[in-house]
Structure formats: C-alpha cells, structure tokens
Structure 1
C-alpha cells in the first residue's frame, strides 16, 4: 500500500499524469484491488481451507469486473491446491465478461480449457458441480445461425444472446435448488441482467428490471456486497430509471473496491442525473487506480479504463465550464499512442471523443473544423470512431462558412460508415446517419434553407432520442434536439426553442448548453420566471468555472438585473 504522499506523486509523475498536484489526495491510497469498505463475500468451497479466503477475494474482484487480477488470484489458488475445481471455474469466469464484449477466439479457447479442467476434477459438492455445469453450457452452446441485433455495453457490443440465455437457464435451476444461497442468487441475478444486455429489442427493459428486483432484496441482506450494488447500477443505467439507481451509486461510491471499473461505475448514474462534482470525483479515482495498476504491472501503454474514465471526467468538467481542467485531459489524450488492450473499444472511443467534445461543448467551431485525426491503429478496427472527429469537422465548417468543406466532411463520414462492416456496430452506423443529417441541416440553414434545416433536425432529433446514448459515452455529441433549439432561436422562434431545450434536458439533465439554451429561449420569449430559474441553476453549477465563457457573462448580467429590479420597485413604492 502506498503510505506516503510523495510516493503517490512519484508514481503519477512516472505515468504522465495530467492532473495538477493539488488534485492528489495525500491520504493513504489503496493498492489496486484493495477491497476498501466492501463487506465480506462468502463463497464456501470444498477446496483446501488455506485457499478459502483468497478464493473469496477472487470472487469479489470478479463481481467488480477486475477480470485480469481475479484471474491471477484464481490461478494462484489453483497452484496452491491443484485439485480445486472451483479455481478453474473462477479462471473460466474471468475469460467471459457477461455485459462487456464477448471473449476473443483465444479467450474462448482459454475459458473452454479451464472449464474442461474443472469438470474433470470431480468437484467436491453438488453446488460446485452445478456452477461448473452452467458455465460449461455457456462455453459450449452454439451461436445462432442467423445474425441478430446485438446489445451494447460500455466496452462494446456484447456476445451472442443464445449462449447467455442458455447460461441463465442453467443458473435459474441452480437458484431454485439453493434459494438461500446468497452467491447463487447474486450470480443468477447477474445472468438475468446479461440477458437484458443481449436483448436489444426490448424497450421495456424487462430483464434489467427482473434482475433489479432480485438484487434489491439481496441488498437488504448484505448492504456492502460488491456485486449486488454494482449490478444494481447497471440495471438502472437508463434515463427513465437513473433516479432509482442513485442510492446504489452513492453507496458503491463509498464501498467500491479500488478497481478502475468499480470506481468509475457510479458516474454512469451521476452523469445521467447531472451530478457533475460526483462524476468528476468518481472518474478521478478510477483514472488514478488505472494508472497505479499499469505502474504495478510495468506497462508503458495507457490503460483503456483510464481513457474511458477521462472521457466521462472531461464531459463533466465541461458541463461546469471548468474548461482549464478539461483542457488538461484533452492535452493528455493527445499524447496517447498506445493503449492496453491494444485495440480496445472504450479507449478508441475516448481518443476520438475527448477533443471533439471539448470543441463542441464550448461552441468553438473554428477548432472543431480543424481537429487533428491522430495517427492511431484504432481507426482501422473502428472506422466509425474516426467519423466522430469528422463530425467535428462537418459541424465546425458548417458553422464557420466553409460549406464545401462541410460537404467533404459529410462525404468522409459516409465513407467511414460504409467501411464499418461488422453488424455488431450497427448502432454507430445508425447514429452516424443522424449526425450526417444534422451536419447537412446546418449547411442548408447557412444557405438560407431554414425551414428545410429545421425539419431535418427535428426528424433526426426524434430518431436520436429513440436510439439513445451508447453506454460507452457520457452523453451525445451535442444532442441533436439541442441543435434544433439553437436553430429555432436563430430564426426567432423562442417559444419553440424553449420546448426543444427543455425536452433535451429531460434526457440529459444539467447540460450546460441545454440549460443556457432553455434560459436564453425563455428570456427571449418573455418567460422571465423560467429564464431566472435556468440561469440560476447554471450559475450554481458553474461556481468553479474559470469564467472564460461569454455565456457566463450574460448569466451574471441577467441575474444581477433581476436582483436590482425588485429593489428599484421597492424604492419607488417607498417614495410614493
């Protein structure tokens, strides 16, 4: 454990930390994988008594998605007790990430090999045999012959649904056989959640709610169980359910193991509710844990988990107009040339998103128009992510009068969309279509075709609301409904603009652009009460801002005028 502040600073200095020293908490920093305030995980096994506690720790890290470190622990348990079948089960579990991306071919082979070893060892109890049987069913179920819609996660498309359903069915049988076994119930609830993630066409999110109902009951029995609280956050990580997940997010924020994903996960709820300070704190901790783990393993690449946390962190800073802090993250991301894993989905997304967001959220269209596409190997695997930067070019050029340049950028977006062949990424292709429509609308507006542009943006906004944000992203790149509100303001339709901004705020609460747009529209529409309300919320949200945005000058002027107006009336009344 790092027991002195100077050692923490030395570690962060070695790994190129972008954070200012006053952001570093000099209190004792846990080692990566430290359980902190997590309650005890009880998972009795028939293996040697000497490995019981380490096995339970591996299970706790498994619940926190620290798969690499959990695998090290289960491997060590297997070395200490070569006859421990459940150690092989644990190893096999670490190769499958139920609500992340599916195993690669090599990972699938490693998982199958481990579960075959577990089966051959003649597990000591029926309960252990059932756990192993269920996981064996996952690894050996055939994939569907016909392509189906693929669910999405913060680490990319999830695996084939048929395998997950087969595993959940087996775990349901285990649950029925051991109704009072806490870990059996927890792993079954997680299996139900995995089916929900793999079921893209269920608008009711029935499986997520089924899993949540199980987990809520378990939470009352063990308030500090790492898996139960963690999985609840995933169950509620949707706009309509985010408020339900707040208690779990706040609890997990205080008990989460010192694991990058675990520390980051509460911010999914905080971000959906516009709780920017909390999101910044969660993602700072996650990024620091990622860097510490990379240093522990002597890696020279930037962890994808760190980049994912930094994307959420930069987004949160920008909603508070803390542009200086966000700029440090942009600069750091610009230095990254190698990630671990090498071509990881969330890392690639962050490298495209961070600089583009920084320009968009500050209305810096000139910078958006000239964004650099980093020379990275990621774009060949994820061409649709390079298209996010081209979206920056398209909107930037459309807003700065370079209409031909905007058209070229839209054409390049189309090329990159068509280069995305894997059906697992159809979500991004659909979103790119909408973003191209938005960019084309701004070109049309600049050429005087205002009504056509408004209708195009309206259709695209409706479709984007239905499509929803991807879990990898803290929020849409300037939600198209916000863009519609902005154009309506430009053409003098303030009341209509206010409605659009308010509708956007229901999906993305607390967004700087959404609040400012709603306030400005209300002000221009003569709705002083709502204008004051939105401006006041924005003023309270940006108290840590460096004050570099012109919009904040207007916020202060409006609120100052509103304060003076009642005083002036009071003086006039007293004179009368």
Structure 2
C-alpha cells in the first residue's frame, strides 16, 4: 500500500523510509536535472509527469522523495513548489503558500549547484510565492508568467519551459479563456501558440497535449484538438485523468461512443490507483467522479439513457 495523506506533506526530517511509491505506466517523458543519484532523477521525472496528469498531491510526494534521496538537488525543491502552487482546478490556500515558499527558498539556497536553466526555473518560481500571507496572488502569478515567458524564449529546445509558460498564462484566468461569443480572452492565444509550437517539435509531450485540450475545448473550433485527444491517453496510460481527457474533445465534436469508452477506461485506471494508494484529497473527490459525470453525458448523447442511469 502507499497511503496518500489528505493534505500536502511537510518536508521530511532525516528518514530512511521512502516517501513515495514508484508507479508504472506513466510514460517516458524526462527532464534532466543536476543530481548525484539516478533514483532522484527517476522520482523527479515521475513528479513532473504527475503534475501534467493533474495529480498534484502525488507529484508532491515524488518530489519529496527526490529530495530525500538527494538533499542537495535544488530542482527537487522547485518541484515541490510547483506541486503546491495554484493550478486551474485548485486555487492556493494559506498552508500551500507557506510550504511552497519554504520549498522554493530551499531551492534558491541550493541554486549555485544547479545548471543555468535550472537556476532560471528556480528564480521564476520564486516570483510565484511570497513570505507575506496577504501577498496579492494576481501580481505573483503575473510576475511568474513574465519570468516563464523569458525562460521559454531563452530555452526553445526545452518543451517543459514552453509548456509551463502556457500553464502560467492559463493560471492567470482559470476556465475563463473565451467569451460567450467565442472571442479569446487575454493570454489564451499566446498560450495556444506556445503549446502548438511545443507539440510540433515534441509530439509526445503529455503536458502540452493536456493543456491544449483545456485551452481550446470551449473555443469555436475544438476540433483542432482532435489529434491531441487521439494521442494523449497512450502517452501516460497509468494516469487516469489523462486517459479521461480526450473525452473533453470527443463530446464537443460528436464522438459520443469514443467519449464513453475513454471514460470507462479512465474509471478502471483511477480505481486501480485509488485501491493501491488509498488516495484522498482532490483527486479522489474531483477527478475520479468527473470520469463518471462524463460517462453520464456521453451515454445520454448516445441515446443510452438506461446505461447512464445505471452508472
């Protein structure tokens, strides 16, 4: 078993006990970091994959484990701050603000051991957190987005730089990317352009495809994300939310049977994860039920109302 706490864990003291499990079927996306231990790199990669799969609690544990294995690894603490930061489905609270600030301060203290790109990531993330509890979140998020724009421009061969820049733009106005008339709100066109650039050069990047679906699904032409929908689930087949995500597009373009099947598979993947890890928190309360909600919607559109009722 791999019990998952309901709240984000505190940074550990000295311990020999692993702080996170190592999962299978999360794909092969990697982001090389400066670390003396291969296994710290493995858990960092897993943490970033889980970020892109919107399982932020589990990602946080992976980054904690990377830091336990290699306490001098600056990017392990950057990852903790990333997992604790606001995301489009979960505004930040006081506890996460405090822990995120502490994590990124630790990363800053270790940045002399890091590479130039890693220092850029760390210094950008430092703009997202403040010591003061009453710091203005919109200003922090804007400063972070500006720093990520500079990082993405400086390192065009790094797909995570571009993807996380788009994510920063989208987090400035979560779920408010298009007007009722289908006109783009500020920032979303830049996010879409950056994600399209990443996907063109790195066609198997799960984070770019995931965010792209969210960016365009409410637009006048969600069909442009059909290629992302058809590719995404295979990139991280052990991440239930990414297995589910194609349904956001399939429902919009009339592929109701595909949406139903996609969500049935997502339910199976998530139930296996929940059973294994006794999962708690937002993932269990929001992401898993969301699969079932979309099965109701898609089977109803298929004309299979009895199936929807039985779910």
- Same structural fold, with TM-score higher than 0.5 when normalized by the shorter chain: yes
Q: Which has the higher contact order (CA 8 A, sep 6+)?
A: 2
Across the two proteins, how many residue pairs are aligned to each other?
282
Match of 2:290 in 1: 308
Q: C-alpha displacement at 1:122, in angstroms?
A: 3.2
Change (3 A) 1:122 1:255: closer
Check the 8 A contact 1:182/1:218 in 2, yes or no: yes
Distance 2:280 2:245 in 1: 25
- TM-score normalized by structure 2? 0.81
Check the 8 A contact 2:88/2:174 in 1, yes or no: yes
Q: C-alpha displacement at 1:304, in angstroms?
A: 2.8
Change (3 A) 1:267 1:143: farther
Check the 8 A contact 2:77/2:106 in 1, yes or no: yes
Q: Is 1:87 paired with 2:76?
A: yes
Check the 8 A contact 2:177/2:188 in 1, yes or no: no
Match of 1:59 in 2: 48
- TM-score normalized by structure 1? 0.46
Q: Deviations over 1:447-481 (max 9, x none)?
A: xxxxxxxxxxxxxxxxxxxxxxxxxxxxxxxxxxx
Check the 8 A contact 2:195/2:208 in 1, yes or no: yes
Check the 8 A contact 1:175/1:184 in 2, yes or no: yes
Q: Is 1:99 paired with 2:76?
A: no
Helix, strand or coil for the counterpart of 1:48? Answer: coil
Match of 1:136 in 2: 126
User: In angstroms, what is the RMSD of aligned CA positions?
Assistant: 2.6
Q: Deviations over 1:178-220 (max 9, x none)?
A: 2332322222222223335376686423522221212222212
Change (3 A) 1:117 1:57: same
Distance 2:74 2:236 in 1: 28
Q: How does 1:163-562 map to 2 (within 5 A)?
A: 163-197=140-174, 203-298=183-278, 303-329=285-311
Q: Is 1:109 paired with 2:91?
A: no
Distance 2:177 2:236 in 1: 29
Distance 1:308 1:242 in 2: 20
Check the 8 A contact 2:177/2:185 in 1, yes or no: no
Distance 1:184 1:281 in 2: 33
Helix, strand or coil for the counterpart of 1:139? Answer: coil
**Runs of 5+ consecutive residues of structure 2 not aligned to the other structure:** 1-20
Max Rg structure:
1
Check the 8 A contact 2:111/2:122 in 1, yes or no: no
Change (3 A) 1:317 1:199: closer
Change (3 A) 1:247 1:206: farther
Match of 1:70 in 2: 59
Helix, strand or coil for the counterpart of 2:220? Answer: coil
Q: C-alpha displacement at 1:97, in angstroms?
A: 3.8
Change (3 A) 1:198 1:291: closer
Q: C-alpha displacement at 1:53, in angstroms?
A: 3.0
Q: C-alpha displacement at 1:49, in angstroms?
A: 3.9
Helix, strand or coil for the counterpart of 1:138? Answer: coil
Helix, strand or coil for the counterpart of 1:240? Answer: coil
Match of 1:48 in 2: 36
Distance 2:150 2:122 in 1: 13
Check the 8 A contact 1:294/1:303 in 2, yes or no: no
Check the 8 A contact 1:48/1:81 in 2, yes or no: yes
Identify, as 1 or 2, the structure richer in helix: 1
Change (3 A) 1:300 1:111: closer
